[in-house]
Amino acid sequence: MKQIKPALNKFQYPRTIILGLGMMLSISLPLQPILSLEKMGISPQFQNPKIKHRQMGESRPPHPLILTQEDSMPYLSQLEAQIIREMNQARTNPGDYADKLETLKNYYDGRLFKLPGETPIRTQEGISAVDEAIRALRGMDSKPSLRPSRGMSQAAGDLVEYQGPRGETGHIGSDRSTPFDRMNRYGRWRGGAAENISYGPDTAEQVVMQLIIDDGVPSRGHRENIFNGEFRWTGVACGPHETYGQMCAIVYANGYDEQE
């Protein structure tokens, strides 16, 4: 997979962030073509020939769901726990989350997204991407909440630890590892798995909304990963990024057995 270091558009304000800047990679078994990334300059095909079919079964006892401000997991930062809560709010009540997206429309000026007191964001599609996301969410059924996984969060953390200081992007690690390889370092994923990466946003709401709106990504692959009803487990890691200030890696799996 080709790695890129996205460049800011010359017409953007200084330090302006591209709203649609994110990366996604997913795989289900049997192997399927990966969601399109042509618009981002990344090869649309990535398959790991070493991954074999695995039988699905019941996962180990789940962690408590992170749905409220009081809930926490000791291996997650506040931001990471908030991202899981935010994704679960969207998954369990997509119609209500569509109402939340409606509030963003007041801050669009053409293709510029301008929150008070923050750096303007130059989007690729403007308000039309928000309208499309709202329609999509209003037509969705509720999905089960994602359960947090320590091992999957460690796998996401490996990518953040490598990419952040170098300002790099993409799904391939310093050792040429894929998200699926990294998840298998700390356990074993089963059935299907995926990874979303957000660069720039530094709050849980901004991260999740960015990935759901999926501005500039024709396949809306980030959104599909978040709302994939087969995914029941997730891991999140966030950290500083040399180029974009902040990055968050989010991995998903149908099933996941934690390493003993």
Question: In a structure prediction context, what are the per-residue pLDDT tens digits for the chain, which is 260 residues long?
Answer: 333 223 222 222 222 233 334 455 544 332 222 222 222 222 222 222 222 222 323 333 334 454 444 455 889 999 999 999 999 999 999 999 999 999 999 999 999 999 888 888 889 999 999 999 999 999 999 999 999 999 999 999 999 999 989 988 889 887 889 999 999 999 999 999 999 999 988 899 999 999 999 999 999 999 999 999 999 999 999 999 999 999 999 999 999 999 97
CA neighbor of 151 nearest in space, from 182, 111, 129: 182
3-state secondary structure of 203: coil
Angle (CA) 150-85-213 rounded to 5° is 110
Spell 131-163 as b/e; 16+ CB within 10 A means b.
ebbbebbeebeebebbbbbbbbbbbbbbbbebb
Task: Return d(Cα 167, Cα 71) in angstroms, integer.
Answer: 32
Helices of type H across 69-192: 78-92, 94-102, 127-138, 150-166, 179-183
3-state secondary structure of 190: strand
CA neighbor of 37 nearest in space, from 196, 240, 165: 196
pLDDT for the residue 47: 27
pLDDT for the residue 8: 23
3-state secondary structure of 62: coil
Indicate the burial class of 221 (C-beta count within 10 angstroms; 0-12, 13-18, 19 or more). buried
Angle at which helix 94-102 crosses helix 204-213, to 10 degrees, equals 100
pLDDT for the residue 141: 97
Task: Return d(Cα 146, Cα 65) in angstroms, integer.
Answer: 7
Angle at which helix 204-213 crosses helix 127-138, to 10 degrees, equals 90
Task: Return d(Cα 142, Cα 114) in angstroms, integer.
Answer: 31
pLDDT for the residue 162: 92
pLDDT for the residue 73: 80
| Sequence letter at residue 153 | S
In angstroms, the Cα distances linking 253 to 10, 106, 149, 238 are: 38, 35, 10, 18
pLDDT for the residue 218: 93
Task: Return d(Cα 167, Cα 199) in angstroms, integer.
Answer: 10
Task: Return d(Cα 136, Cα 155) in angstroms, integer.
Answer: 30
pLDDT for the residue 161: 93
Q: How many CB atoms lie within 10 A of CB 84?
A: 27
pLDDT for the residue 175: 82
Distance of CA 130 to the CA centre of its chain: 17
